[in-house]
Structure 1
Amino acid sequence: MARASGQKLKLLYIVKFLSENTDEHHPASTADIIAHLEANGIHSERKSVYDDIEKLCDFGYDIVQVHSRLGGGYYMAGREFELAELKLLVDAVQSSRFLTTKKSRSLIGKLEQMAGKHDAGKLQRQVYVAGRIKTENESIYYSIDNIHRAIQENRQISFRYLEWNLKKELVPRANSERTVSPWALIWQDENYYLAAYDGRDACMKHFRVDKMGKVEVCREAREGLEQFEKVDLALYTNQIFGMYGGEEAVVTLQLPNRLVGVVLDRFGREADIRQMPDERFRVRAKVMVSGQFFGWLAGSGRDVEIVSPDIVRERYREWLEGILASMGTVD
């Protein structure tokens, strides 16, 4: 029985061996394949291996036979991902702030298996990004899975919002239990955000997914469809700075023409831009009036001006004066 069972698995062992151990520069001989099968308790002969390879090719596997005076052999040519594609995926995993260090290593290890042992070493790449900080919330993968499931099943979710303490621990914030209706996951500024309807406050809100703990799918059906349908997510994520809290407002900014690229990068090509005299232009956009927004303005230079509304101009002035006051006087 064991012998018969092994013969049924024979084709699978051949595919696995060729996928993991061969490529264009490293073909496996018939003897190599027979030795691998024997090591796994499956007796085989040359003629049967030829027949097995032919069957696998008929099924659709791209197995190439190499003829050479040095012996030749077979290698798996067609793979789900080319090496260049795997390198790109590894770079994305390695540099992602969203993924923990532990999860990054795990994913890269799985990508290496897809490349085969001869190319796996080429995927051991180091991508350095200035100031890169990895998330510490290991449960984020399960949180995202639960959020997707709730969206698919049209159900609400509950969670607790997390924050850092002085011991560098990510802990639940006091009185942070929430129940919301999830509508979309957004990738913005290297973080995942959840766009959800908060029935308690009757409005759409955004939450950093890596700051959400104990995400659970509830029985209650989602709310807020009408409010969500009014949101243009692509435009909204370009306009709401950094997805941080603050009061939403439509502001008009005046900037020098040289900063038009900065504005288009932030607001998108659909931004409402109007040419002004003296090599300047104005842009009208919806933003979250917060320290994040003011910090972006200050970083863009002294030539950036808030034209309207007056209340936002005044808040920006107070924000700048507060920073100067906190620095004290300099002799």
Structure 2
Amino acid sequence: MAKGTNQKLKLVYLMKILLEKTDETHSITMPEIISSLEAYDITAERKSIYADMEALRTYGMDIIGEQKNKTYYYHVGNRQFELAELKLLVDSVQASKFITAKKSNELIKKIEGFASKYEAKQLQRQVFVTERIKTMNETIYYNVDKIHAAIGTNVKIKFQYFQWNVDKKMELRHGGEFYYISPWALTWDDENYYLIGFDSEANIIKHYRVDKMLKIELTEDKREGKEHFTQFDMAVYAKKMFGMFDGEEQTVKLEFENRFAGVVIDRFGKNVTVIKTDEEHFTVNVNVAVSGQFLAWVIALGDGSKIVGPESVVSRMRKEIERLNRIYL
């Protein structure tokens, strides 16, 4: 039997064939393996393929052979990712506002590469990227990479920050001046990616939407604010922020009807202290950034929720209700 031009790649292509054409519910026979190798201009005999499959098993591939009606069928069992895990990754990419539609489709295509061609079809059937609200900033990947590089090398970054105007055009904030920030962490909240950093000029921790950052550059200045992040807890920080809107951090006392216990635990965590006030109500004291978004969250819960204190926050809620009355009544 004459050897094909890709003979030295036989083991690689055998692995490719098994990974692409088999899974827990799809198998391949030896004649089909030989035919598939021939499609790559590789000739092989059964004996050599048996030896190659044994080598792949030694490498770590879970190649399973089963006999049915005098015919052996082969398939890959355990993979690097289970189908359920791949579906979870696809769902995460779909849900991420900070990834553009174009990049989402590219990523999902790569994720499909970890599955057989049959499982890849299942992943494709649940892809609904086109109609989702996605960022329009194509530099998001490079932004994240630069921020990680700055954190890794312990330097500040500078960047421009923008918002969308009524003409659907980018409008630079602060007149286009660069922000100089010490980056300390990245977090994903409310389907968006945020940089958590220290603003030396204001001497406070701030956060920025990564997809709204432009022209990120690493500086030669060392990061500042380490003392603020020594005991920093990202989960606690995220719980204080509502939709990542800034506000003055205060301890607020809230009263709820018992039916909202699940809502409160989902928002503030299972460790929140719940104090029963009567058979139908309970109160909690929570540290939050008091913003319009926080007030809107309380209002959205309806009659079953109320801000009890402090008076400054109660007064702010009254003013918010008056504002809404002026608009809608």
Question: TM-score under structure 1 normalisation?
Answer: 0.88
Q: Is the 8 A contact 1:94 1:126 kept in 2?
A: no
1:312 alignment partner in structure 2:
313
- Map residues 1-331 of structure 1 onto 2, 5 A cutoff: 6-69=6-69, 71-126=71-126, 133-173=133-173, 174-277=175-278, 279-328=280-329
Report the secondary structure of 1:242's partner residue.
coil
Counterpart code for 1:290: S
Residues 116-156 of structure 1 deviation map (CA, whole Å, 9 limit, x = unaligned):
11222111233779x95222222112211221222122121
Percent identity over paired residues: 46
Report the secondary structure of 2:114's partner residue.
helix
The Cα RMSD (Å) is 2.5
Report the secondary structure of 1:64's partner residue.
strand
**2:108 and 2:305 mapped to 1: Cα distance?**
43
Residues 267-300 of structure 1 deviation map (CA, whole Å, 9 limit, x = unaligned):
1122243322463222222222221011111112
CA pair 288-127 structure 1, distance change in 2 beyond 3 A: farther
**Structure 1 gap segments, 5+ residues each:** none
CA pair 170-126 structure 1, distance change in 2 beyond 3 A: farther
CA pair 127-178 structure 1, distance change in 2 beyond 3 A: same
How far apart are residue 303 of structure 1 and its match? Answer: 4.3
CA pair 55-257 structure 1, distance change in 2 beyond 3 A: closer
Report the secondary structure of 1:223's partner residue.
coil
Report the secondary structure of 2:43's partner residue.
coil
**Structure 2 gap segments, 5+ residues each:** none
Residues 207-237 of structure 1 deviation map (CA, whole Å, 9 limit, x = unaligned):
1222222222222211101012243322221
Q: Is the 8 A contact 2:30 2:46 kept in 1?
A: yes
CA pair 127-15 structure 1, distance change in 2 beyond 3 A: closer
CA pair 25-245 structure 1, distance change in 2 beyond 3 A: closer
Counterpart code for 1:142: Y
CA pair 303-27 structure 1, distance change in 2 beyond 3 A: closer
How far apart are residue 241 of structure 1 and its match? Answer: 1.7
**1:89 and 1:310 mapped to 2: Cα distance?**
45
CA pair 24-301 structure 1, distance change in 2 beyond 3 A: closer
Q: Is the 8 A contact 1:306 1:313 kept in 2?
A: yes
Counterpart code for 1:261: G
**2:236 and 2:121 mapped to 1: Cα distance?**
41
| Greater mean deviation of Cα atoms: 268-277 or 176-185 | 268-277
Residues 245-277 of structure 1 deviation map (CA, whole Å, 9 limit, x = unaligned):
222222222222332222222111222433224
| Greater mean deviation of Cα atoms: 287-296 or 166-175 | 166-175
Q: Is the 8 A contact 1:254 1:306 kept in 2?
A: yes
How far apart are residue 19 of structure 1 and its match? Answer: 0.8
Report the secondary structure of 1:9's partner residue.
helix
Aligned residue pairs, count: 325
Counterpart code for 1:14: L
CA pair 171-6 structure 1, distance change in 2 beyond 3 A: farther
CA pair 9-164 structure 1, distance change in 2 beyond 3 A: same
CA pair 27-272 structure 1, distance change in 2 beyond 3 A: closer
CA pair 279-69 structure 1, distance change in 2 beyond 3 A: closer
Report the secondary structure of 2:48's partner residue.
helix
**2:265 and 2:249 mapped to 1: Cα distance?**
20
How far apart are residue 20 of structure 1 and its match? Answer: 0.9
How far apart are residue 108 of structure 1 and its match? Answer: 1.7
Report the secondary structure of 1:57's partner residue.
helix
